[in-house]
Chain A
Amino acid sequence: MKTNGNSDSRGGTSPLIANKAIDDAIDHAVRMMTSREPAPGLDGRVLARLEQQTRGSVITVPRLVAASLAAAALIAVVMTSSRAPVTTGPSITTNVPAVPPAPRSPESTPRVREVASGESVRQSTRTAARRQRTVNAASLEPTPETTVTVPALEVIEPIQVTAVRPVSMHMSEIAIEPIQVAPLRVEPLSSTPH
Chain B
Amino acid sequence: MDLVRLAQAGDSEAFGVLVTRHQRAVYRAALAGVGSSTEADDVAQEAFVAAYRKLGDFRGQAAFKTWMLAIAWRKAMDRRKSVSRWLRSVVVPSESAEETDDLVERVRSPKRTQEEEISGAQLQRTIRDLIRTLPQKLRDPLLLAGSGEYTYDQIATMLEIPLGTVKWRVSEARRILKQKLAALGYQR
CB-CB contacts of A1-24 with B at 8 A, as 1s and 0s?
111111011001111111100110
Given contacts A8-B184, A18-B188, contact A1 B52 (CB under 8 A): no
B147 touches A3 (CB 8 A): no
Number of chain B residues whose Cβ lies closer than 8 Å to a Cβ of chain A: 50
A53 within 8 A of B: yes
B116 at the interface (CB under 8 A from A): yes
Tell me the nearest residue of chain B to A47, going by C-beta. B16
Which stretch in A25-33, A69-77, A126-134, A179-187 binds the other chain? A25-33
A171 located at the interface, meaning its Cβ lies under 8 Å from any Cβ of chain B in the complex: no
* B146 near A34: Cβ-Cβ < 8 Å: yes
Q: Is B122 an interface residue (CB 8 A)?
A: yes
Interface of B is mostly: helix
CB-based nearest B residue for A30: B146
Chain A count of residues within 8 A CB distance of the other chain: 41
List the B residue with the shortest CB-CB distance to A12.
B122
A interface residues (Cβ-Cβ under 8 A, vs B): 1-6, 8-9, 12-19, 22-23, 25-39, 42-43, 45-47, 49-50, 53
Cβ contacts A to B, 25 pairs, < 8 Å: A1-B119, A1-B120, A3-B115, A13-B122, A14-B185, A22-B178, A22-B186, A26-B178, A30-B143, A30-B147, A33-B31, A33-B32, A33-B128, A34-B28, A35-B148, A35-B149, A37-B27, A42-B41, A43-B19, A45-B45, A46-B19, A47-B16, A49-B45, A49-B49, A50-B12
